[in-house]
């Protein structure tokens, strides 16, 4: 990609990073940071990309953010919770990413959330499972649980209000803590229509 063309295109609506099977894209930080300056950007798909990028608050029109398999992604910016038009957030298979942001429940238009990692009880910052109850439009949810204290005793009914939920995937590979299975038994999805 020519950086001059990217700099000149202020009305960029979608950016997709395509890879061949088994390959990873590497984007220079100078180019990656140009993406986040595009206030008209609706789709940012950086799946399987190595980049150093700071999303800016300019991306308020962003509707789809896909950073699946971005192994170097460690944290999402706190103002991501202000992207009110965001409908799809895929952070699945981001090995370096810890728990997601506190305030994620404010993304009221979110329909797809994949790779959700809740905070642990010993952490002060991060998103708890209970915040998911505010995402009433959520149709597809992928949870990644590792520790038994990621599900608080008062959070077992957090998914009941998700009446639009059609797909629920809970992965617990490489899990720690003997009570995780017991807590999963108590965590129940919304009743079938």
**Residue 74 has what pLDDT?**
84
Confidence of residue 152 (pLDDT cuts 50, 70, 90): confident
Q: What pLDDT digit, counting tens, does each position of 101-146 carry?
A: 899 999 999 999 999 988 877 777 888 888 999 999 999 999 988 8
Question: Can you tell me the distance from the alpha carbon of 175 to that of 75, in angstroms, rounded to the nearest whole number?
Answer: 21
Is residue 30 classed as helix, strand or coil in its secondary structure?
Answer: helix
* Mean pLDDT score, 144-152: 79
Which structure tokens are listed for 90? 């895929």
* Closest CA relative to residue 170, chosen from 154, 162, 181, 160: 181
For residue 163, is pLDDT > 80? yes
Rg (CA), the chain: 17
**Residue 137 has what pLDDT?**
95
* Closest CA relative to residue 6, chosen from 41, 34, 37, 45: 34
**Residue 138 has what pLDDT?**
95
* Mean pLDDT score, 9-28: 64
**Residue 72 has what pLDDT?**
81
Question: Can you tell me the distance from the alpha carbon of 52 to that of 48, in angstroms, rounded to the nearest whole number?
Answer: 13
Q: What pLDDT digit, counting tens, does each position of 32-79 carry?
A: 566 666 778 898 888 887 766 566 677 889 999 998 988 888 888 888
Q: What domains are defined for the chain?
A: 3-186 (3.80.10.10)
**Percent share of the chain, pLDDT over 70:** 75
Contact 66, 36 (CB under 8 A): no
Question: Can you tell me the distance from the alpha carbon of 112 to that of 64, in angstroms, rounded to the nearest whole number?
Answer: 9
**Residue 171 has what pLDDT?**
86
Q: How many CB atoms lie within 10 A of CB 187?
A: 18
| Residue-averaged pLDDT of the chain | 80
What separation in angstroms does the CA of 119 have from each of 44, 88, 93, 140, 188?
A: 25, 20, 17, 20, 19
Question: Can you tell me the distance from the alpha carbon of 151 to that of 147, in angstroms, rounded to the nearest whole number?
Answer: 8
């Amino acid at each position: 990609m020519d950086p001059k063309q990217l700099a000149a295109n202020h009305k960029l609506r979608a950016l997709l990073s395509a890879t061949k099977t088994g390959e990873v894209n590497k984007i220079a930080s100078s180019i990656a940071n140009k993406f986040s300056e595009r206030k008209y950007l609706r789709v940012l798909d950086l799946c399987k990309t190595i980049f150093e990028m700071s999303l800016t608050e300019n991306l308020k029109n962003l509707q789809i953010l896909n950073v699946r398999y971005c192994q170097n992604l460690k944290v999402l910016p706190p103002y991501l919770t202000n992207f009110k038009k965001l409908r799809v957030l895929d952070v699945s298979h981001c090995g370096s990413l810890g728990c997601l942001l506190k305030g994620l429940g404010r993304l009221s238009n979110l329909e797809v959330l994949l790779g959700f990692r809740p905070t642990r009880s010993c952490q002060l910052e991060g998103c708890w499972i209970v915040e998911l109850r505010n995402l009433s439009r959520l149709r597809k949810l992928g949870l990644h649980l590792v520790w038994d204290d990621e599900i608080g005793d008062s959070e077992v009914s957090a998914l009941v209000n998700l009446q639009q939920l059609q797909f629920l995937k809970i992965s617990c590979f490489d899990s720690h803590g003997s009570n995780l299975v017991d807590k999963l038994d108590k965590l129940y999805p919304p009743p079938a229509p």
